[in-house]
Amino acid sequence: MTTTAQERVAYFNGEIVPESKALVSFRDRSFKYGDGAFDMTRTFGHKIFKLEEHIARFANTLRYFQLDPGMTQKEMIDKSMEVLEANLPLIDETEDYWVGQRVSRGTDVVGGDMWEHDGATVVIECTPLPLKARAPLFKDGIDVIVPSVRRTPPESLSPRAKSHNYLNLIMGDLEAKAYNPAAWAILLDMQGNFAEGIG
The C-alpha atoms of residue 146 and residue 189 are separated, in whole angstroms, by 11
- DSSP single-letter state for residue 160: T
User: What domains can you pick out in the chain, each with its CATH number?
Assistant: 9-129 (3.30.470.10), 137-197 (3.20.10.10)
Close Cβ partners of 38 (under 8 Å, ≥ 6 residues apart)? 58, 100, 101, 102, 103, 162, 163, 164
State residue 115's pLDDT score.
57
How many other C-beta atoms can be found within 10 angstroms of the C-beta atom of residue 134?
12
- Cβ proximity of 56 and 135 under 8 Å: no
Lowest mean pLDDT among 44-58, 102-116, 173-187: 102-116
The pLDDT > 70 percentage for the chain reads 94
pLDDT at residue 65 is higher than 70? yes
Close Cβ partners of 74 (under 8 Å, ≥ 6 residues apart)? none
Give the H/E segment covering residue 17: strand 15-18
Instruction: Provide the whole-model pTM.
Output: 0.88
3 state SS of 168: helix
Confidence of residue 108 (pLDDT cuts 50, 70, 90): confident
State residue 5's pLDDT score.
61
pLDDT tens for 19-34 read: 999 999 999 999 999 9
pLDDT tens for 45-63 read: 999 999 999 999 999 999 9
The more confidently predicted of residues 114 and 110 is 110
The pLDDT > 90 percentage for the chain reads 83
The C-alpha atoms of residue 152 and residue 167 are separated, in whole angstroms, by 10
pLDDT at residue 114 is higher than 90? no
pLDDT tens for 124-168 read: 999 999 988 888 888 999 999 999 999 999 999 998 899 999 999
Q: Using only C-alpha atoms, what is the Rg of the chain?
A: 18
For β-strands 36-44 and 97-104, DSSP reports them as antiparallel
Strand partners, 141: none
Q: What is the mean pLDDT of the chain?
A: 92
